[in-house]
Chain A
Amino acid sequence: MSTALETPKKQRGPARKRPWWRSPTWLGVVPFFAFVTLFLLLPSVRLVMGAFQDEAGGFTFENVRSLFQGQFLSAYWTSISLSALTAFLGGILGGLLAYAALTGGTPRWVRPLLTTFSGVAANFAGVPLAFAFIATLGTTGVVTQFLSETVGLDLYDRGFSLFTFTGLALIYLYFQIPLMVLVIAPAIDGLRREWKEAASNLGASSGQYWRYVGLPILMPSILGAMILLFANAFAAYATPYALTAGNVGVVPVLIGQFVRGDVLANPGQGYALALGMIVVVAVSVAVYSLLQRRAARWTQ
């Protein structure tokens, strides 16, 4: 050990007996923790407190109770089912896409192209993404018109609309699938060739290898990635707001209406809605880190 890092000798004895908060070492991390407290922790605490206050400032459970009724309950139901659906579909489609591009048998240039494009598409979201789909599948969208002019198929007469739950799910997949590709790629790369060789030496078919070796190893990573996708879709605000302006009532859009003051109700309900989001995401992040720990076993 070098002495350069230690405190000078004469202070050494007492310094060791002093509790950690008496030594000035921790002062170095004060600015960071102060910033996080001021702009992340305290706002969250304020929010939680606000969720339990009525308009006069008294304590109440009414705001939280209202989450389980009518409009708010259905907003949570829409948000959770939309996020779960796109997480599940995005997870499967993205996983298959990553498998197709990253394992053998495909041209070499596919891989860097897919990862680059996934990086762009996973970051290309919000308002511009909503516009891209309006230009494609909106009422006067390019694909909508193409289908009605060439095949005579009028999507909007057949009951399709971009500005509904289905349309929103279709758009969410545009960032969910690339996100899945990026998140699952390291796990697919981590599948060792030896495992497959060992399996086929023992007489396993390709299907048996996936059924008994590949998928069980990948499963924690796949589930973990799907939870990440769920939280990602659940927090989305810009895309649903720009697309439907509130037609499809997802929770973030409802919260936005409270902030904008479009909804003349007590602010406590807005805080309660936000608190509900924190709870849902916190539970999914907790499950995610559990699964990550299991997945880490195989990626040493």
Chain B
Amino acid sequence: MRNVSWFKLLWLVLGAMYFLIPLLATLQFSLQEGRDEYGFGPYKYILTDPLFRQSIWFSFKMAIGTIVLSLLLLVPTVYWARLRLPRLLPVMDFISILPFVVPPIVLVIGLLALYRGAPSWFVATPVILLCGYVIHALPYVYRSVDAGMQAINIHTLTEASQSLGAGWGTILLRVIVPNIRVALLSGAFLTLAIIMGEYTMASLMLFNAFAVYIAYVGETQANPAAALTIISFAMTWITMMGLLAIGRRAGRGQAQIGGAR
């Protein structure tokens, strides 16, 4: 028994080293101002750069837009399919994993090819990126919404509301949504984490998203890029803590997987 514990401890220590050393190295790098001088210079540089605020604001708006549009599309659809068209559910399950088969790098080339020459309000604005993001986030949002709906009895809730005279809008907004808000929130947080770090589609569609800005800084200045890496890690951490806090309130503390590779 002793031996087993030592073996486990060794693994955990090795694992911790592999994951912590790059972070600590980046932290040290981000605090370097010269050969042997340390300070917050790189952070000051980043925080006063107007491009930093612009890109982070852009990505935040895109994330909020993706969350709103995804929920508008998915909540009524999943509700309606579960209530009236259960035969559609396997089809929707299948569609929801398709974005894994058509990853962002492939989706972006397809979108650009299909919509070349489309109206400029669509292709010359972030609208096309937003549509790509909704597809990118689809597996995660769908899973949250579907799990939420599965956990409550939508048939009973709908019948009860209808017998009290509620219309469809009232049922959805004031009965169904409040009952699945934890699931919706966790889907929203995961989407936030994914979109804030998304690089592939934004860079190939030539939008200055946060990750594109990080890459741009990295091409010229190493220390501010390290500072940005730490900031980005902290943002991911905060989002994940939010996700876990929501999950714990719902009684399941399982972290979720998304990510922009």
Contacts and interface: CB of A to CB of B under 8 A. Distances in A.
Contacts of A127: 199, 211, 214-215, 218
Given A125-B197, A126-B261, A177 B15 contact: yes
A93 B240 CA distance: 23
Contact of A124 (B225, B233, B256): B233
Given A47-B106, A255-B109, A260-B204, A231 B211 contact: no
A112 interface: yes
Contacts of B110: 43-44, 46-47, 274
Contacts of A112: 253
A135 B106 contact: no
Contacts of B214: 127-128, 131
A122 B85 contact: no
A57 B252 CA distance: 54
A47 B113 contact: yes
Question: Which label, helix, strand, loop or mixed, suits the secondary structure of the A interface?
Answer: helix
A271 interface: yes
B182 to A, nearest CB: 17
Interface in B115-151: 131-132, 134-135, 138
Interface string A102-125: 000110001010011111111111
Contacts of A133: 22
Contacts of B194: 123
Interface string B61-97: 0000000000001101100110111001000100101
Given A258-B109, A278-B106, A285-B100, A128 B232 contact: yes
Interface in B179-217: 193-194, 197, 199-200, 204, 211, 214-215
7 closest A-B pairs by CB: A119-B255, A43-B110, A235-B103, A236-B261, A142-B25, A238-B199, A28-B80
Nearest to A142: B25
Interface stretch (A31-39, A65-73, A151-159): A31-39
Query: Most A CB atoms within 10 A — which of B74, B106, B241?
Result: B106
A218 B98 CA distance: 26
B101 A278 contact: yes
Contacts of A118: 255
B259 interface: yes
Interface of B: 1, 4-5, 7-9, 11-12, 15, 18-19, 21-26, 28-30, 73-74, 76-77, 80-81, 83-85, 88, 92, 95, 97-114, 131-132, 134-135, 138, 155, 158-159, 162-163, 193-194, 197, 199-200, 204, 211, 214-215, 218, 222, 225-226, 228-229, 232-233, 236-237, 239-241, 243-244, 253-261
Nearest to B76: A28
Interface residues of A, number: 89
Contacts of A183: 257
B97 A29 contact: no
A64 interface: no
Contacts of B138: 36, 40
Contacts of A119: 240, 243-244, 255-257
Interface of A: 2, 4-5, 25-26, 28-29, 31-32, 35-36, 38-40, 42-44, 46-47, 50, 93, 96-97, 99-101, 105-106, 110, 112, 115-128, 131-136, 141-143, 173-175, 177-179, 182-183, 185-186, 206, 231-239, 242, 252, 255-256, 258-260, 267, 270-271, 274, 277-278, 281-282, 285
Nearest to B87: A20
Given A28-B80, A40-B107, A177-B15, A239 B261 contact: yes
B21 A143 contact: yes
19 contacts: A39-B134, A97-B15, A106-B12, A116-B244, A117-B19, A121-B19, A123-B236, A126-B260, A128-B197, A128-B214, A128-B228, A128-B229, A131-B214, A132-B26, A135-B30, A142-B24, A174-B18, A175-B261, A259-B109
A172 to B, nearest CB: 9
Contacts of A233: 261
Given A123-B236, A131-B228, A238-B211, 8 more contacts: A44-B110, A100-B9, A124-B259, A132-B25, A134-B222, A242-B199, A278-B102, A285-B97
Given A29-B85, A259-B108, A143 B232 contact: no
A167 B132 CA distance: 31
Query: Most B CB atoms within 10 A — which of A46, A237, A260, A267?
Result: A237
A25 B85 contact: yes
Contact of B25 (A35, A93, A135): A135
Given A28-B77, A120-B233, A174-B19, A105 B102 contact: no
